[in-house]
Amino acid sequence: MTVLVTGGAGFIGSAFVRQALKDLPEARIVILDALTYAGNLSTLENELKNPRVQFYPGKIQDPTVVEGILKAEGVTHLVNFAAESHNDRAMLEVGSFIQTDVYGVYTLLEAARKFKLERLLHVSTDEVYGSIDTGHFTEASPIEPNTPYSASKAGGELQIRAAIKAHGTPALITRGGNTYGPYHFPEKLIPFFIVRLIDGKKVPVYGDGSQVREWIHCDDHAGGILHVLQHGQIGEAYNVGDKNERTNMEVVKILLEETGRDQNFIKSIPDPRRGAHDKRYSMTTDKLEALGWKPKKPFEESLRETVRWYKSNESWWRPLVQTEDYQRFIRAFYGPALGEDL
């Protein structure tokens, strides 16, 4: 088994690489990553020393790169984590999302067909379902994305669906919930707020913070994906979640406690996602559980452990928040609302 992990230097992709090296002792792991702002080779420092791991820099949108790797490495399985994934960046600019999340998926599908891969697993998101006020999404729920980002992920998924039907491509899809844990680029709610609180800065809560997200630890998310790769049925989609719903404010309170900050560090700002801000995500995971998989990490304890990880791994995240690209995004997105608290 030779597994190509695209986006393997990113947050969930790198957690998957670690898991796969442990659970697939015979497999070779080939990583392709564009090393955009969110991909970081220091995340894979230990794994890259492993003789079973081979790294290639490059984009999934580039057929020469993708096909060259499939040929040179004799890839049998492909797991696609490569994506532009931050909703707020997509509020400012969505072209790069369509390039990676839609066109990139098309490139992988073409290559999978040409090289007759055994399995292609595409990592998607629960956001493709849109928002749900009560009850839970199942894998049969309609795809109704509301944000520029989730619309691009849905576009990729629809290409997968069509390739399965039109060409019999042996593909599967996973739809994951909001993910947290170490090595998460500090722009999404949890890592962004942790690094700001460590630095004694206020945290910008959109509106009243009553939005609900379902959180899963990156190791559980990666484990669920690996389980689907091994045991899922080709042509099917599987939700990967922890049924762990929290309002944003509940999450923020734990972060304040664990960083030793008080309520004065919360700054409510007008919702920058406007009408595209989904109120609640919630999904059933019965289909994946029926394959014999369950998440293991308890939320609150693991979230506190994550805060402690950021406290003791400043050398990983500090250089990231000092880059010009990061500063530019934070100024452009939060500057007007945060003012002197930026």
Chain centroid to CA 155: 16
11 is a site residue for ligand DAU (CB under 6 A)? no
The DSSP symbol for 277 reads -
184 is a site residue for ligand DAU (CB under 6 A)? no
The helix-helix angle for 189-198 and 248-259 (nearest 10°) equals 30
With CB under 6 A as the contact rule, the residue among 129, 192, 265, 293 that binds ligand DAU is 192
With CB under 6 A as the contact rule, the residue among 7, 204, 223, 232 that binds ligand DAU is 204
Question: Of 43-51, 166-174, 186-194, 226-234, which segment contacts ligand DAU by CB under 6 A?
Answer: 186-194
Interaction mask 53-92, ligand DAU, x per CB under 6 A: --------------------------------xxxx----
105 is a site residue for ligand DAU (CB under 6 A)? no
183 is a site residue for ligand DAU (CB under 6 A)? no
Q: Which tokens go with 44?
A: 């894979």
- Closer residue to ligand DAU, CB minimum distance, 85 or 285: 85
Catalytic residue numbers read 126-127, 149
| Window 16 to 55, contacts with ligand DAU (CB under 6 A) | none
The angle subtended at Cα 276 by Cα 282 and Cα 126, nearest 5°, is 30
Q: How far is CA 321 from CA 51, 214, 270, 309, 327, in A?
A: 32, 26, 24, 16, 7
With CB under 6 A as the contact rule, the residue among 61, 146, 178, 239 that binds ligand DAU is 178
| Half-sphere CA count of 328, side-chain side, radius 13 A | 6
Give alpha helix (H) positions in 177-270: 189-198, 218-231, 248-259
Q: From CA 108, how far away is CA 104, in angstroms rounded?
A: 6
Task: State the pairing for strand pair 245-247/212-217.
Answer: antiparallel
With CB under 6 A as the contact rule, the residue among 59, 213, 227, 246 that binds ligand DAU is 213
Say which residues have a Cβ less than 8 Å from residue 75's Cβ, sequence separation at least 6: 2, 3, 4, 30, 69, 115, 117
Closest CA to 269 of 336, 321, 329, 318: 336
Which residue's beta carbon is nearest to the bound ligand DAU?
A: 125
Q: Hey, is 55 helix, strand or coil?
A: strand
145 is a site residue for ligand DAU (CB under 6 A)? no
- Shortest distance in whole angstroms from residue 65 CB to ligand DAU: 24
With CB under 6 A as the contact rule, the residue among 19, 40, 107, 125 that binds ligand DAU is 125
With CB under 6 A as the contact rule, the residue among 127, 219, 220, 245 that binds ligand DAU is 127
Interaction mask 300-329, ligand DAU, x per CB under 6 A: ------------------------------
Question: Of 41-49, 74-82, 131-139, 204-212, which segment contacts ligand DAU by CB under 6 A?
Answer: 204-212
Q: Which tokens go with 59?
A: 């984009």
141 is a site residue for ligand DAU (CB under 6 A)? no
Note whether 80 and 6 are within 8 A (CB): yes
- Closer residue to ligand DAU, CB minimum distance, 55 or 185: 185
Interface residue list for ligand DAU (CB under 6 A): 85-88, 125-127, 177-178, 188-189, 192, 204-206, 211, 213, 248, 281
